[in-house]
């Protein structure tokens, strides 16, 4: 029973265009969501997070949107750059738990 | 930004060997984690510590053990490595409250 789902294993986008990565969750107790970027054989790097009291958080080229009623969040990267090519993981956590639950990741390829 | 270190980065060993994967952080974080990740899969929590001398097993059953004698150090030990232990092992830490996880660079373990 996967509580955090990333249904698109891969995504290809042209350089300069928008990349949209999606994530769905099932546990209504989750109230904190994060996106990480990961290169092969390296540890994940934090990108951006959002609390459930917000529906949008922006940091430079990265924006995360949260739709609590749909239990859905998305990461927008604008404009996409070749260096953004990596695997992106979304993660979720809830109040009163130490656990961070991760999705299976989406491999983004930005084409020059 | 992330002051969390894992050694070795890569390890190739034979079946039956005892190994210890090292993880240290200099941020004074109480909470530390070990995750296991295979390509195309989510990160699975295998161990968690919320402070010195406190450890818990994670969601994914693991034959590894951990110790937390000092705040900054959270080593993982496999008493007898097997090919099924081949994976990437990721150490992480975080501060109090709703905070992001900081990850180390990971250890890529191959058991022959």
pLDDT of res. B2: 59
Residue B102 to residue A32, Cβ atoms within 8 A: no
- Cβ within 8 Å of residue A110, ≥6 positions away: A12, A13, A14, A15, A19, A80, A81, A82, A83, A84, A85
pLDDT of res. B1: 56
DSSP character for B73? B
Give the whole-angstrom CA distance, residue A110 versus residue A85: 5
In the structure encoding, which two tokens stand for residue A7, read together?
């249904």
Give the whole-angstrom CA distance, residue B25 versus residue B43: 20
For the segment B57-79, the average pLDDT, to the nearest whole number, is 92
Share of chain B above pLDDT 90, in %: 85
Higher pLDDT, B40 or A54: A54
Give the whole-angstrom CA distance, residue B67 versus residue B72: 11
- In chain A (112 residues long), the average pLDDT of successive 10-residue segments reads 90 98 95 95 94 96 97 98 97 89 96 94
Grouping H, G, I as helix, E, B as strand and the rest as coil, residue A79 is: coil
Burial string for A76-92 (b: 16+ CB within 10 Å, else e) reads bbeebeeebbbbbbbbb
Is B106 an interface residue toward A (CB < 8 Å)? Answer: yes
Residue B60 has pLDDT above 90, yes or no: no
Average pLDDT over chain B reads 93
The residue in chain B having the minimum alpha-carbon distance to the alpha carbon of residue A87 is B40
């Amino acid at each position: 029973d996967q509580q955090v789902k990333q249904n698109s294993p891969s995504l290809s986008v042209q350089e300069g265009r928008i990349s949209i990565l999606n994530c769905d969750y099932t546990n209504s107790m989750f109230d904190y969501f994060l996106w990480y970027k990961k290169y092969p054989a390296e540890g994940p790097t934090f990108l951006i997070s959002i609390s459930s009291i917000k529906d949008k958080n922006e940091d430079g080229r990265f924006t995360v949107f949260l739709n609590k009623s749909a239990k859905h969040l998305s990461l927008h990267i604008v404009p996409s750059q070749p260096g953004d090519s990596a695997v992106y993981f979304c993660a979720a956590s809830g109040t009163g738990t130490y656990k961070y639950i991760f999705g299976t990741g989406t491999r983004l390829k930005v084409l020059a | 930004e992330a002051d969390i270190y894992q050694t070795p980065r890569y390890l190739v060993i034979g079946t039956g060997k005892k190994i210890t994967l090292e993880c240290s952080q200099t941020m004074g974080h109480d909470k530390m984690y070990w995750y296991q990740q295979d390509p195309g899969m989510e990160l699975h929590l295998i161990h968690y510590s919320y402070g010195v001398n406190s450890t818990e097993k994670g969601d994914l059953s693991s034959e590894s053990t951990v110790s937390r004698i000092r705040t900054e150090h959270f080593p993982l030990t496999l008493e007898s490595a097997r090919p099924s232990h081949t994976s990437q092992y990721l150490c992480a830490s975080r501060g109090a409250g709703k905070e992001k996880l900081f990850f180390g660079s990971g250890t890529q373990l191959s058991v022959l």
